[in-house]
Amino acid sequence: MPNQIPPQLQQHQPGVEGLMKPPAIHIRPDYRGSGKLAGRKALISGGDSGIGRSAALHFAREGADVAFLYLEEHDDAKETVRLIEAEGRKAVAVAGNVASGRVCKDAVDQVVNILGGLDILVNNASVQYVSDDLTKISDEEWQRHMDININGYFYLTRAALPHMGPKSAIINTSSINAFAGNKSLVAYTTTKGAETGFTRALALQLVDRGIRVNSVAPGPIWTPLQPASWGPVDLQAVADLGKDTPMGRCGDPCEVGPAYVYLASADASYVTGQTLHVNGGMIING
């Protein structure tokens, strides 16, 4: 990722890949799969773009068939399907809002029917709205954070669990903000903290079933969500994304995707209830 990002915005969340300058890198051309996920079946929410697309492509290169849920970004979804299939794996795209329990159940049923099972679940779809004043956060905006970022993780996990057996893995996308806080993202930070609690408690509940539950907490990563959430409020914040990290830049999705491979694979067979931090060198306490 270049150190310089031009100021830019996108008008609607969750944003689209095609408008990003520079374009994000989702998987490095020299990333070599080694069959770590051969024969596995994965479902990723928010898998059409950003970190979700990166996880999808890394899973596919490691031998997994991949399904993903997305909201309305049909062109991004078609491109992700094309990229997964280019890896020689099956791809399934399902449009729907994870804020609905019925949508999540129907999506899981559809995916299991097409792929023939489900071994890996990645809860990734999220929204974030910027506000430096808590009193300016509307009921609707607060509730949307809860509906997508918390309820969506619960609904999709609840629907997936009956289909998951020993050696399955659930991976939740958290955030640096759950640990460091962010004064401009109070609602978003609240949901990410809740996701961390969800991860730890669910890991304890499912350990006897042989299902591991972990999370990835990215720092600033160049995804459509960034210009779609910060751009309308502060264009300079988009241009400065990641400059306050020790590495002095934001990360590309390709720098996060391998973390999902690790947590989904047998390499992490002794890891559950944990959070893997990918944040450009920011120190986490607690």
Catalytic residues, by residue number, are: 188
Of 217, 225, 112, nearest to 172 by C-alpha is: 217
Element housing 198 (H / E): helix 186-206
> What are the percentages of helix, strand and coil residues in the chain, rounded to 5?
45, 15, 45
* End-to-end C-alpha distance for the chain, whole angstroms: 29
Of 59, 108, 111, nearest to 88 by C-alpha is: 59
Rounded CA-CA distance 224/206 in Å is 33
Residue with tokens 């506000």: 131
Cα 82 to the center of its chain, rounded Å: 19
State the DSSP code for 221: B
**At 156, is the secondary structure helix, strand, or coil?**
helix
Half-sphere exposure of 242 (CA within 13 A, CB side): 22
Rounded CA-CA distance 114/94 in Å is 12
Angle value at C-alpha 174, between 87 and 228, nearest 5 degrees: 75
Q: Six-digit token pair at 20?
A: 């990003």
Element housing 52 (H / E): helix 50-61
